[in-house]
Chain A
Amino acid sequence: MFKLDRKLIISASVATVAALFVAGCVEGKATPAGELTMNGKPTIDGGTYSPVANGMTGPYAVNTQETANINHGRRATANELKAWDTDVTPTSPPPPGSGTVSEGEELYEAQCVMCHGDFGSGGGGYPSLAKGNAYKLQKTLTNQRNKPDNDGPVRVFGSYWPEASTMWWYIQSGMPHPNTKSLSDDETYALTAYMLSINELRVDGEVVEDDDFELNQDNFGKIEMPNKNGFEPNIDGPGALDDVRKYYANPTNFGAIKVKPSERCMKDCQKPTAKVVRIKEGGGIRDFLPPISTVRDLPKKEGGFDPKAAYEANCAMCHSSFLAPGSSDWAGYTGKGIAKVYANGIKGTEGGMPAKGGSSLTDTQFKSVVDYLIAGK
């Protein structure tokens, strides 16, 4: 009974809102418009909510039988929880441990530089990690490339991310990319310390400059992230969900527009200055794989294996950039014999080469691609 009453109250509270939009519904369609509230509060995303009514949620029928104490699965053990509950957040700091900037730099040079570039400068499509002083770069976030010569905003760890905990957790759970979850807690502290130094971030008021600077559980919470307050809506604290609901209840916050269907523009909807913007001559993006075609024919018979095509598809992204040996600098690798080069390539290396470059080539095919690369493409 209480349920019914509450439903009526909710319905009444949204009746005026709903009335605005019912007119826009397609005539004769049975599905009721969703509600803009859930349990008496604005919906969390600014969208509609379809409560279960008369055994239906929106257009879908549901089983409304009441059940209690469904008891599948088993309790997690304490050790299992410890093994998997490894998230690191602003309110759940990293485990005990420590690492210095110089230790981090050594790890970085061995395991990270081939993708993220010198001093985190990026390259080959992989993300940049630093572009200089984070506090200065944070000021670029209002930059807009709306004119040809404008510089864009710099969105790297130091200048953009609100929390340093994200970096620690990211490194330990998702890096290095070809061999994740392989770094110890101390190594993760060290790499994070190196990230602080190349972004020129402050810890407890001091810029991290010294190679001997040590990051540990005690000073981790004192990292000063310049863009900590650069995000909306607020998601912290016990009132977070109310803040989120309020934010998305206002379409202008996120570039959306609401209109009564009967009042939408149908004629003379454009400014006189409106013009057609085309893809720039010679511009646009065209390197589609496979090339676009809508022809209905039989696929071309697979010819012999083409090492060039396989190289382009699987290897070029690193080996044709500075991230990995190109065709001119193989002398240092082939000295130990080509068999060693093949084996390293097939198994992958700690230096960042994924097994067979992450491809699904056979060993024989892979070797012919290595030959192609070493021979100078």
Chain B
Amino acid sequence: MKNENSQNDLELSDNSTESSRRNFFKKTASIGAVAAATALSANQATAGDDPLIMHHVKWGQKLGDPVTKNRYGIPSAYEHNNTRRNTKLLASGNFQASIAVCPIHESEGIITPNGLFFSRCHGGTAHVDPNEFRLMIHGAEITKDIVLTLEELKRYPRVTRTHFIECPANGGQEWRGPQFNSLQFAKGFMSSAEWTGVYIKDLIKDLGIKPGAQWMLAEGSDNSEMGRTIPMDKVWDDAMLVWGQNGEALRPEQGYPVRLLVPGWEGNLCVKWLKRLEFSAEPFYCKEETSKYTALKKSGKAIQHFYANEVNSTVVTPSPEKPWTNLKDGDIVEIEGLAWSGMGTITGVDISFDGGKSYVEAQLKGLILPKSWTRWSYMHTYKKGETLLLTSRAMDDAGYIQPTVDEETGVLGVEGVYHRNGVETWEVTAEGKVNHVQIRS
């Protein structure tokens, strides 16, 4: 089948055929001098031929690495820019009480590689000896107080689930206006993994939970001894203790050997380096329950125990990091993004090209799982020089839809820090650059 586009590609690939020809001969001359012996002998290169095709590649003739190298594999050296990043603004004085954010502009699918999973800690990453791990389950509202080793914990029936974990401060720097011209920093306080562990409801089933039990304290063994109070409803639903992350042990940054996972809820509730679960009738008022992780509303009242990360979405391609500056007029490109909700399953995503004045439906792709990243897609024909305001808007099966920036600040004001899920907008400039903007009245 004749492909007119590809014909166009060839013709449009350089503005000046003459200069392109000159460059090509220059390149082939120099490559030829070095690598004459490796030229594919049957072919005589002409101006339109790519020397990378016309010559053997440098890795194609010598032996590669033996299988004994990198017994635990590492990414290609060329991928070194695909990495977590920090900024001093997001550090409480040092990088032990700080966050390293996930490069979601490079993310593929709905799973984050373990080495790129965002990392937040309050007293540094602890390195726990799994042989010295102990989990204590106790409290006034449980009949049988027990201690488990890691091996004993792993005897309970395993559950494997795919969920994102999101810091509720994701986007929290931008209540008063956009700050980060970067998808990684604007939305990268989250990552997603397939987790393996045990439902807490299975763990405590035979320990005699009393009817007065309303709360479960989860406490870490690290420097900060991070603790949070979880209501029993979540325990009877889907709260888990997990030790597996994408088919291997949790990374130290994720709480090795065991962390709490409360699917869909604030990341800080998913206490890492876990040591203790205590069941109680009264709440604990842990250090991070009021000093942080409460959302101060316009009314002056603050929301405490603000559990679920609400329905949210972002355009991933294009992004400030991955602009459209190399597109040609008429290119058909995919606008692709992520949608997620800690309150249920994504049911649909709309995309706007005018910053939210009007929307069309995008399509969901791949696995559509509860409390999980969900991919969405819209095919777009790019017009050279067009300016766009790309805004995505997601919905979930609990019935929620993302608010506009105005709708959200109308209730919460601009001092809440946490749980910002108003729609985000990328401005695509005439040159194809992408800038983070907001639409406000």
- How many residues of chain A are within 8 Å of chain B by beta carbon? 133
Closest residue of A by beta carbon distance from B217:
A87
Q: Which of B412-441 contact A (CB under 8 A)?
A: 412-416, 419, 425, 427, 435-441
Q: Which residues of B contact A235 (CB under 8 A)?
A: 229, 283, 304-305
Q: Shortest distance in angstroms between A171's beta carbon and chain B's nearest beta carbon? A: 9
Q: A275-B441, A294-B322, A358-B124 are in contact. Are A287 and B87 (CB under 8 A)?
A: yes
Q: Which of A30-58 contact B (CB under 8 A)?
A: 31, 33-34, 36, 38-39, 43-50, 57-58
Q: Is the CB of B89 within 8 A of A287?
A: yes
Q: A60-B161, A72-B148, A318-B94 are in contact. Are A21 and B287 (CB under 8 A)?
A: no
B224 within 8 A of A: yes
Q: Shortest distance in angstroms between B181's beta carbon and chain A's nearest beta carbon? A: 6
Q: Which residues of B contact A265 (CB under 8 A)?
A: 359
Q: Is the CB of B343 within 8 A of A46?
A: yes
Q: Is the CB of B152 within 8 A of A73?
A: yes
Instruction: For B359, give its contact among A17, A48, A252, A269 (CB under 8 Å).
Output: A269
Q: A174-B287, A296-B81 are in contact. Are A278 and B397 (CB under 8 A)?
A: no
Q: Is the CB of A72 within 8 A of B214?
A: no
A348 within 8 A of B: no
A297 to B81, CA, bound (A): 8
B240 within 8 A of A: no
A196 to B217, CA, bound (A): 27
A277 within 8 A of B: yes
B234 within 8 A of A: yes
Q: Which residues of B contact A169 (CB under 8 A)?
A: 286-287
Q: Is the CB of A144 within 8 A of B415?
A: yes
Q: Which residues of A contact B281 (CB under 8 A)?
A: 238
Q: Which of A109-167 contact B (CB under 8 A)?
A: 115, 124-127, 141-146, 152-153, 155, 157, 160-163, 165-166
Q: A124-B93, A166-B285, A254-B303 are in contact. Are A290 and B85 (CB under 8 A)?
A: yes
Interface string of B290-314 (1 = CB under 8 A from A): 1100111111111111111010000
Q: Which of A173-198 contact B (CB under 8 A)?
A: 173-174, 177, 180-181
A174 to B297, CA, bound (A): 28
Q: How many A-B residue pairs have CB under 8 A?
A: 408
Q: Is the CB of A74 within 8 A of B147?
A: yes
Interface centre among B152, B180, B294, B397 (most CB of A within 10 A): B397
Q: Which of B268-294 contact A (CB under 8 A)?
A: 275-276, 278, 281-287, 289-291, 294
Q: Which residues of A contact B95 (CB under 8 A)?
A: 314, 358
Task: Identify the stretch in B63-71, B245-253, B345-353 within 8 Å (CB) of chain A at 4 or more residues.
Answer: B345-353
Interface string of A254-265 (1 = CB under 8 A from B): 111111110011
A92 to B93, CA, bound (A): 31
Q: Which residues of A contact B406 (CB under 8 A)?
A: 271, 274
Instruction: For A166, give its contact among B79, B153, B219, B286 (CB under 8 Å).
Output: B286
Q: Is the CB of A266 within 8 A of B358?
A: yes
Task: Identify the stretch in B11-19, B35-43, B51-59, B138-146 within 8 Å (CB) of chain A at 4 or more residues.
Answer: B138-146
Q: Shortest distance in angstroms between B435's beta carbon and chain A's nearest beta carbon? A: 7
A290 to B81, CA, bound (A): 8
Q: Shortest distance in angstroms between B195's beta carbon and chain A's nearest beta carbon? A: 12
Sample of 18 further A-B pairs with CB below 8 A, known A169-B286, A254-B419, A266-B358: A44-B231, A48-B344, A59-B367, A76-B146, A85-B138, A125-B92, A127-B291, A142-B299, A153-B415, A161-B291, A180-B225, A240-B283, A251-B400, A270-B356, A279-B435, A293-B81, A294-B82, A317-B88
Q: List 18 A-B contacts (CB under 8 A).
A: A20-B399, A26-B348, A26-B364, A70-B156, A152-B415, A169-B287, A174-B123, A174-B287, A238-B214, A255-B403, A255-B408, A255-B410, A257-B402, A266-B359, A268-B357, A271-B441, A279-B437, A284-B180
B-binding residues in A (CB < 8 A): 17, 20-21, 24-26, 29, 31, 33-34, 36, 38-39, 43-50, 57-60, 62-63, 68-76, 80-81, 84-85, 87, 89-92, 115, 124-127, 141-146, 152-153, 155, 157, 160-163, 165-166, 169-170, 173-174, 177, 180-181, 230-233, 235-238, 240-241, 244-245, 248, 251-261, 264-271, 273-280, 283-285, 287-290, 292-299, 314, 317-318, 354, 358
